[in-house]
Amino acid sequence: MIENLTEVTPDTLASEVLKYKNQGYRLVGMTCTNKTEETVDLLYHLDRDLEMHTLRMEALRDAPVPSISGVYFCAMLPENEMRDQFALVFDGLVLDFNRTLLLDEEVTLEQVPLANNLKITKK
């Protein structure tokens, strides 16, 4: 079980992240994992004075995920990595590598490394 876990939705993510930033928390990492064929779990790990808080959001694979890179610019790296590895699309991503941060341009959606066993229908 994750201590200090707060469930968020795509609608509440930005306000929760901003609340933590205003309280002096830093973004220390983001985690993504496949949940079902249609959904992924996104975890946002925040720290202040060695006290870790995690925000958890279930997101639909076929819907754009809100980017938090407008609040924490450094989030653009893990968000681009998740775009490459899980075929997610982030709405409002401040710097979008268009699935070429880690992957070659020739890699198709059917070859996405961590989603290749799932049905990918996005274009």
For residue 19, the domain's CATH number is 3.30.460.80
Q: What is the pLDDT of residue 28?
A: 97
Does residue 11 lie within any of the structural domains? yes
18: Cβ–Cβ under 8 A, 6 or more apart, which residues? 71
Does residue 54 lie within any of the structural domains? yes
Q: What is the mean pLDDT of the chain?
A: 85
CB contact burial 103-114 (16+ within 10 A = b; e otherwise): beeeeeeeebee
> Worst-scoring range by mean pLDDT, 19-28, 54-63, 92-101?
92-101
Does residue 26 lie within any of the structural domains? yes
Does residue 120 lie within any of the structural domains? no
- The whole model's pTM is what? 0.81
Query: How many folded domains does the chain comprise?
Result: 1
Does residue 121 lie within any of the structural domains? no
Does residue 84 lie within any of the structural domains? yes
- Residue 94 pLDDT exceeds 90: no
Distance from the first to the final alpha carbon of the chain: 36
pLDDT tier, 123 (very low <50, low <70, confident <90, very high otherwise): very low
Does residue 28 lie within any of the structural domains? yes
pLDDT tier, 108 (very low <50, low <70, confident <90, very high otherwise): low
**pLDDT, tens digit, for every residue of 30-53?**
999 999 888 999 999 999 999 999
Range of the domain at 66: 5-111
- The proportion of the chain whose per-residue pLDDT surpasses 90, expressed as a percent, equals 62
